[in-house]
């Protein structure tokens, strides 16, 4: 399987065994641990970026002052989930969404069905990968908070209680199955999770975003 390093400063192309798709490992050029994605998927994302550019919806410049609350969606496949997150973002006061990777972008009827028009009031922009925007956000003082269960993550409620959350912040959520990529996890300032008390190990990404977004928004309010 052909793949490519997602780091914008590297973008080295190389081959890995087919069964390594979706797995993590180091880039042989820059050494960063990344999640291996098929090259054809990466090229599809680039074509989407080109279509958006022709339609006048290319990645926009960052606002003069960072929004207190924004969110980044990495490889969220379901358009219905994307639409639901738009609607919740509006309700919780998140002013901007960064749609990255294979995450679908408006206008799509599936997004509109669950967003109920929220995509028209919540600013959004598309990037081919999360690493194309996270460094710029960090340079502007935005705290990158990843929502992912890892050995290093802590309950989001504990992070709030301990005063580890600050604004401006960007809440990062990932793919419905794979979660956040290795490179995005490494780029986060803080990793948090939502404790699970039943049989299942995780929530639907749109539901998880809603729980976390309102907890963060109300705490900072």
Q: Is the peptide bond before 96 cis (omega within 30 degrees of 0)?
A: no
Q: What residue has token string 């900072």?
A: 220
Examine the pLDDT at 214 and tell me if it is beyond 70.
Answer: yes
What is the reported pLDDT for 187? Answer: 97
Whether the Cβ atoms of residue 170 and residue 145 lie closer than 8 Å to each other:
yes
Taking Cα atoms as reference points, which of 193, 191, 185 lies closest to residue 34? 185
Residue 220: pLDDT band (50, 70, 90) is: low
Helix (H) / strand (E) element for 96: namely strand 96-100
Q: What residue has token string 């641990």?
A: 33
Residue 85: pLDDT band (50, 70, 90) is: very high
CA–CA distance, 43 with 84 (Å, rounded to integer): 27
pTM above 0.75, yes or no: yes
What is the reported pLDDT for 94? Answer: 97
Average pLDDT of the residues in 193-216: 93
Q: What residue has token string 């600013």?
A: 123
């Amino acid at each position: 399987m052909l793949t490519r390093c997602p780091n914008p400063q590297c973008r080295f192309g190389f081959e890995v065994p087919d069964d390594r798709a979706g797995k993590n490992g180091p880039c042989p050029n820059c050494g960063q641990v990344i999640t291996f994605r098929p090259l054809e998927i990466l090229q599809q994302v680039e074509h989407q970026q080109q279509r958006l550019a022709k339609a006048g919806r290319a990645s926009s410049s960052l606002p003069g002052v960072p929004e207190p609350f924004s969110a980044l969606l990495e490889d969220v496949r379901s358009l219905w989930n994307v639409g639901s997150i738009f609607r919740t973002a509006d309700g919780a006061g998140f002013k901007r969404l960064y749609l990255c990777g294979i995450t679908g972008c408006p206008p799509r009827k599936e997004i509109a069905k669950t967003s109920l028009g929220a995509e028209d009031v919540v600013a959004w922009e598309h990037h081919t990968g999360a690493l194309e925007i996270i460094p710029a956000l960090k340079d502007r003082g935005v705290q990158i908070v990843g929502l992912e269960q890892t050995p290093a993550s802590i309950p989001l409620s504990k992070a709030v209680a301990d005063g580890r959350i600050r604004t401006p912040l960007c809440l990062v959520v990932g793919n419905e199955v794979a979660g956040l990529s290795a490179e995005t996890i490494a780029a986060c300032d803080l990793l948090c999770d939502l404790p699970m008390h039943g049989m299942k190990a995780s929530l639907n990404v749109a539901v998880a975003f809603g729980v976390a977004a309102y907890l963060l928004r109300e705490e900072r309010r």
